[in-house]
A and B are shown apart, each in its own frame.
Chain A
Amino acid sequence: MIDPLTVLIISASLALLFFKAAKHKMRAPGQFSAQLAAYKLVPLSLLPGVARLIPAAEMAVFFLILMPFTRSLAAVLAAVLLTFYTSAMAVNLFRGRDKIDCGCSGHSQKLSYWFLLRNIALIISSGLLTMPSTSRALVWADFLLLALMLAVLSCVYLLIEQLVLNQTFSESERGSHG
C-alpha cells in the first residue's frame, strides 16, 4: 500500500516527462525517425509507422496518467514504453554503438549507462503506480510537498542530462589527446 501523495508525485512527474518526450518528437518527426533508424532495431518498412506510434503513445500516457481511473493503465503503458527504450539503448550499448543520437530530447545526446539507470528508476516508479494506494484526505501541506518534489525531480532529471553531456566532453578530450 502506498500513500496517495506518492502516487500524485510519481504520476505528475511521469506526466511531465512523457509530455516533454512526446512534444519534441511531434515537433520534429523527421529527426525522430532518423534517430530511431540509427538504433537499427526497427525494420525500415515499419519505421514510419513506429515513429508515429511512439509519440502518440507518449501523449496517451500523459493524458491517462493524470486521471485517477486510468492511472494504472497509463502506468503499465509507461512501463512498457520505458522497457522498450531501455532495452533498445542496452542493445546498442552492448553492440558498441554508443555514438548514436539517443533521441531522448530535442538536442543531440549520445547513449550512456546513466540513461539505463535513470530508465530503470523510472520503470520501478511506474510499477509503483499499479499498486493499491491507501486513501486519506490530502491537505495543503501535501500539495506544497507535491510542488517541491516535482521541482526536485525535474532538477535531478536535468542534472543527469548535464552530467551525460559533461561525460561526452571529457571523453572527446581524452580522445583528442591520445
Chain B
Amino acid sequence: MDNYLTEIVILLTLVVLILVIAVFALARQIGDLHKRLATADSVISEARPKVGELAPFLSMVTLNGSPLEFGGPHEAPQLLLFVSPTCPVCEEMVLTAKSMARSERLALIFGSDGGEMQKHTDYVKEMDIEDYPYVLSLELRKKFQVSELPYAVLIDEHGVLRSKGLVNSREHLKRLLESNRSGYPIQDCVVQGELPGEQAP
C-alpha cells in the first residue's frame, strides 16, 4: 500500500515538474515576443514620447551602484546616449559625446542593456567613462523605443524631451544639441533619415 502510494506521489511530482517547466518556457516565450513587438513597433509607429513632451521620469541604478534620476527638473540638460560594447560606431560617438557634453555643459549619461555585466564594466574602463553614469536598463531603452545604436536623447532642465535620434556622426549629435539651444525641435526622422544606421545587436 505504502509502496504504491510513494510511486504515485513521485510520478505526480515528476508530472508537476514537467508542467511547471512548460509554463515557465511559455512565459519566457511571451516575454521574448513582447521584446520583439516593441522593436517592431518603434520602426512602424511614430515613436513616443514625442519631442516637446515631458520625458518619462525614471529612477535607476548606475553600473557602479549610485542612484540616478532621469527626467524631471534638473540643473543641467541631460544627454542620454545609448551605446553597446558590441557596436563599433558607438565608440566614436562616446568620445564625441564626452567632449560635447563638456563644452555644452550637459549631464551626460550612457545607457545600455543586456549582455554580461563584465562586458559593460570592461567597456566603461576601456572608453574611460568611469566619471559618467552608465545604466543598464531595458526599460529605459523601451521607453524611448530605441532600435538602433548609437541613439541619443536630449532633455532640457525642465525634463522636456528636446530631441532624439540615431546619431552616427559628430554632425548628427551637433544638430541634436542645436535643437535644444534654438528651442526649435528637430524631428528625429530628419536625423534618422540621412544614414541607414548601425543595427542594434
Residues of A within 8 A of B142 (CB): 169, 172, 176
* CB–CB A108/B31 < 8 A: no
Q: Does B100 contact A (CB under 8 A)?
A: no
* CB–CB A148/B37 < 8 A: no
Of B19-27, B124-132, B148-156, B163-171, the one with at least 4 CB within 8 A of chain A: B19-27
Shortest distance between the CB of A17 and any CB in chain B (Å)? 16
Q: Does B74 contact A (CB under 8 A)?
A: no
Q: Does A53 contact B (CB under 8 A)?
A: no
Determine the residue in chain B with the shortest Cβ distance to A107. Answer: B136
* CB–CB B34/A35 < 8 A: no
Q: Does A67 contact B (CB under 8 A)?
A: no
Determine the residue in chain B with the shortest Cβ distance to A31. Answer: B65
Q: Does B98 contact A (CB under 8 A)?
A: no
Residues of B within 8 A of A37 (CB): 67
Secondary structure at chain B's binding surface: helix, strand, loop or mixed?
helix
* CB–CB A38/B67 < 8 A: yes
Residues of A within 8 A of B38 (CB): 169, 172-173
Interface residues on B, range: 35 or more
Q: Does A152 contact B (CB under 8 A)?
A: yes
Residues of B within 8 A of A149 (CB): 13
Residue-by-residue, is A99-113 near B (CB-CB < 8 Å gives 1, otherwise 0)?
111000000101000
Q: Does B175 contact A (CB under 8 A)?
A: no
Q: Does B14 contact A (CB under 8 A)?
A: yes
Q: Does A6 contact B (CB under 8 A)?
A: no
How many residues of chain A have a CB within 8 Å of chain B?
A: 38
Secondary structure at chain A's binding surface: helix, strand, loop or mixed?
helix
* CB–CB A159/B24 < 8 A: yes
* CB–CB B58/A99 < 8 A: yes
Residues of A within 8 A of B23 (CB): 159
From the candidates B17, B34, B58, name the one contacting A148 in the complex (CB within 8 A).
B17
Q: Does B137 contact A (CB under 8 A)?
A: yes
Determine the residue in chain B with the shortest Cβ distance to A142. Answer: B6
Residues of A within 8 A of B35 (CB): 169
From the candidates B20, B34, B59, B138, name the one contacting A152 in the complex (CB within 8 A).
B20
Q: Does A68 contact B (CB under 8 A)?
A: no
From the candidates A31, A101, A162, name the one contacting B24 in the complex (CB within 8 A).
A162
Q: Does A2 contact B (CB under 8 A)?
A: no
Residue-by-residue, is A141-178 near B (CB-CB < 8 Å gives 1, otherwise 0)?
10011001101100110110011011011101100111
Q: Does A117 contact B (CB under 8 A)?
A: no
**28 sampled A-B residue pairs with Cβ under 8 A:** A29-B65, A30-B64, A33-B65, A34-B61, A34-B62, A34-B66, A34-B67, A101-B60, A101-B61, A108-B60, A108-B136, A141-B10, A145-B13, A155-B20, A155-B24, A156-B20, A158-B24, A159-B27, A162-B24, A162-B28, A166-B27, A170-B34, A172-B38, A172-B142, A172-B143, A173-B34, A176-B142, A177-B45
Q: A38-B67, A158-B24, A169-B35 are in contact. List 14 more A-B contacts (CB 8 A).
A: A30-B64, A31-B61, A108-B60, A108-B136, A108-B139, A110-B139, A145-B13, A152-B13, A166-B30, A166-B31, A168-B139, A170-B34, A172-B38, A173-B38
7 nearest CB pairs, A to B: A30-B65, A169-B34, A162-B27, A148-B13, A155-B20, A31-B65, A34-B61
